[in-house]
Amino acid sequence: MSWSMGEVCRLSGVTSRTLRHYHHVGLLIPESTGPGGLRRYGEHELRRLQRVLVMRELGLGLADIRRVLDSQQDEAEALRQHLCDLEAERDRLSVLVDTVRRTVDTLEGSDVTSRPEELFDGFDTAHYSERARVEWPRQWERAREAMASVDGERMRAEAAEAMGRMAALLRAGTPVAAPSVQAEIEVHYRQVCVMWTPDADAFAHLGRVYAEDGPWREVYESVTPGLADYQREAMEVFAEQLREGA
């Protein structure tokens, strides 16, 4: 049995443009292509598409997904591994939900930093670590060496306190270019410099990483809605000052 592209789109929720892109990059080859480029997909292709979508949900890029798919021959074993990964992600998100809930309760009742070690429960840094290792290998190695001698609990406490101060400035409506905000960003910059020294572009990029969808944004937003973007904008102002200083 086979299905047309339109039928596959309706079944999976994937757009025809995405299916054509997957075909173009060799990720999902149709079972057959008829006159006029009409694509049809069989059961094998539907299972492969399911695995593609699962790994996308787990945060893998298309190139990594293709390497995984092309290196595995036993579909049942591969799906069992995907199931384990999904269950692990479900458990991590469950912890993260509890973490955010505790933070909300704390904000409504007392100070955000009363138990700073709880602020980052369920936070998965593996994605960011691997990304940094690939994109900035020298800086990653320096940061890895520096982290070996850092008091992790103290660092988490300081990060929680800094987020609390930035949240207070946001709630007060303080502009990101205000001296009080930029003083907080300078403290953050110096903390980052303990591990590696970013130039202006790298520091601005770090701010964008905080604000993009993912664990960092979840942590910032759990403190105060809008804090991730506020932090990003303030870091961009600081980065521009670094450029002018250079």
Domain definitions of the chain by residue range: 2-71, 78-245
pTM: predicted TM-score of the whole model, two decimal places:
0.46
Q: Which two tokens stand for residue 178?
A: 């205000």
CATH class of the domain comprising 2-71: mainly alpha
User: According to DSSP H, which parts of the chain are helical?
Assistant: 5-12, 16-24, 43-57, 62-71, 75-109, 126-135, 137-147, 152-171, 179-193, 200-211, 215-223, 227-245
- In 3D space, the residue among 226, 190, 223, 228 whose CA is nearest the CA of residue 209 turns out to be 228
Output the CA torsion sign for 72, 78, 82, 85: negative
Q: Which residues of the chain have pLDDT under 70?
A: 59, 72-76, 78-79, 82, 92-93, 95-155, 246
Identify the pLDDT of residue 97: 64
Q: In Å, what is the CA distance from 122 to each residue of 82, 184, 218?
A: 20, 26, 11
Q: Which two tokens stand for residue 58?
A: 């787990």
Identify the pLDDT of residue 130: 47
- In 3D space, the residue among 154, 168, 176 whose CA is nearest the CA of residue 229 turns out to be 176
* H or E stretch covering 41: strand 39-42
**Per-residue burial over 134-162, b = 16 or more CB atoms within 10 Å of its CB, e = otherwise:** eebeebbeebeeeeeeeeeeebbbbbbeb
Contact (Cβ atoms closer than 8 angstroms) between residue 203 and residue 238: yes
